[in-house]
Structure 1
């Protein structure tokens, strides 16, 4: 069977899955989304992802037109219909179609789109050897303008930083917040290890509250690794013993160089390897 895309309770083939060109998700980036992993035929941390989706929608005054329980049924049905044992889901809720102009309350009906597919964000050698980062000049959105805790369809901020990284020969870029502190990467949360302590920026540093980030914090507690959620600067990254990134698409991936500076000894460190192994065991990989 060809890939089946869910749109508002119906399924369409890949070439027939369409939304209106007047949808405000397309015209203005007005909507929210989640990216979720499928392991062993099951969606990983589905309720946690949907709770974040509902929170993001609430924050932008967008009413999701079905219940969370119904969304769970629809997500799982989409996975089953596409016969995916391991893969990735992109769940999108747009504002819906409306006239030209910013007024969101003139849109007719929010659109729910569920895409189940496979994904490979980074080459396998990066998971084994680590990737290189560069600090982008593009900062994360100011939280008083658009909260980074909202997982919205407007990702231009991240894309501009991603372009900087790619032009510098790096597949990921580090982003700072409006105070010049480390926030996160363009699509991943960031962790450091210094003297055996796991360090990561706090939520108020201008980061997305990552689901995989939370999983790693749980695994660190199980492994008796001390964790500090504190404000950090590029200096802290430069002098770290280890560095790794987390995200639903990226999972857990080491970083071994930033801004032409080697992190630690230039290889994935022992705590990075321990938490990576614990994560893979948890998800059955």
Structure 2
């Protein structure tokens, strides 16, 4: 679909992309003040929509941001935006900005939050990387301490992740691992990380500074149904260096293998057998569940 044909939900109305504009005085633009969710559409259904919206409203509550419509109204607006663009498979970016206010940090000078819903497509990694696997590095940029801002708040200020992503690109890698202030593994620049060793699965604890990803939770459910034991642990780089398999999860990334870390092969340097099985099981789940989209006949 050509992006010029997109219809964007903007503050209660569906408008053409060319007319979807926000004020230069919106605090989302001026200060990165707001929150968002990325959500997938599979086979005409919105995957884990309720979970995403609950997290969105929790993020907003955490930063004292009042979303001007109910969660039920937001669900209706989201699926209607997908239907209006006739998307059967794709990606939704749901953005809540603090809204228009005066210059200065005071959020209480913004009388009403802004709502933007974009339903389009996304390609985070090249298709062949899902078959050959990603190369990872350790990013020098650290995750902010949870005492500064909880990693469970998906805020509009992603500069920390962007700086880490720049490191990855400049190093010729697709993705990188971010450490917390103690030097333990937190997450990647936009994904959660899992390793497999001796048939056991390990992932960093949420307390390590990782987002409790919706896809992360879905994949944990899939693995437990497969009979795999999943451990949430304090993880060091050594555990990844010596893992048998490694994969990343995220809404945009879905599930993707990682085969090299800091120029060390992970396992035999190829996507692992269990990882490939997990990917197939996740695809089956994603394509068979979710909130139906009310397409017009």
TM-score, shorter chain, exceeding 0.5: yes
How many residues matched? 285
The one-character-per-residue Cα deviations of 1:221-246 (angstroms, maximum 9, x if unpaired) are 10000110001000001000000000
Deviation at 1:32, TM superposition (A): 0.3
Deviation at 1:284, TM superposition (A): 2.2
1:260-271 map, 5 Å: 260-271=263-274
The one-character-per-residue Cα deviations of 1:53-87 (angstroms, maximum 9, x if unpaired) are 01100110001110000000000000000000000
Q: Quote the residue 1:250 is aligned against.
A: 253
Unpaired runs of 5+ residues, structure 1, are none
Deviation at 1:158, TM superposition (A): 0.3
Q: Quote the residue 2:16 is aligned against.
A: 13
Q: Quote the residue 2:194 is aligned against.
A: 191
Moved over 2 A (4+): none
Determine whether 1:152 maps to 2:155: yes
Q: Quote the residue 1:204 is aligned against.
A: 207
SS at match of 2:128: helix
Q: Quote the residue 1:120 is aligned against.
A: 123
Quick one: which of 58, 62, 87 aligns to 1:59?
62
Quick one: which of 226, 231, 242 aligns to 1:223?
226
Deviation at 1:147, TM superposition (A): 1.1
SS at match of 2:278: helix
Cα-Cα RMSD: 1.0
Unpaired runs of 5+ residues, structure 2, are 289-297
Please give the alpha-carbon distance, in whole angstroms, between the structure 1 residues aligned to 2:219 and 2:184.
22
The one-character-per-residue Cα deviations of 1:223-280 (angstroms, maximum 9, x if unpaired) are 0001100010000010000000000000000000011100000011111011101001
Please give the alpha-carbon distance, in whole angstroms, between the structure 1 residues aligned to 2:229 and 2:273.
14
Quick one: which of 271, 287, 294 aligns to 1:284?
287
Deviation at 1:52, TM superposition (A): 0.5
Determine whether 1:129 maps to 2:157: no
Determine whether 1:88 maps to 2:94: no
Quick one: which of 11, 25, 28 aligns to 2:28?
25
The one-character-per-residue Cα deviations of 1:89-136 (angstroms, maximum 9, x if unpaired) are 000000001111100000121000000001111111100010101110
Please give the alpha-carbon distance, in whole angstroms, between the structure 2 residues aligned to 1:256 and 1:269.
9
SS at match of 1:158: helix
Please give the alpha-carbon distance, in whole angstroms, between the structure 2 residues aligned to 1:150 and 1:207.
11
TM-score by length of 1: 0.99
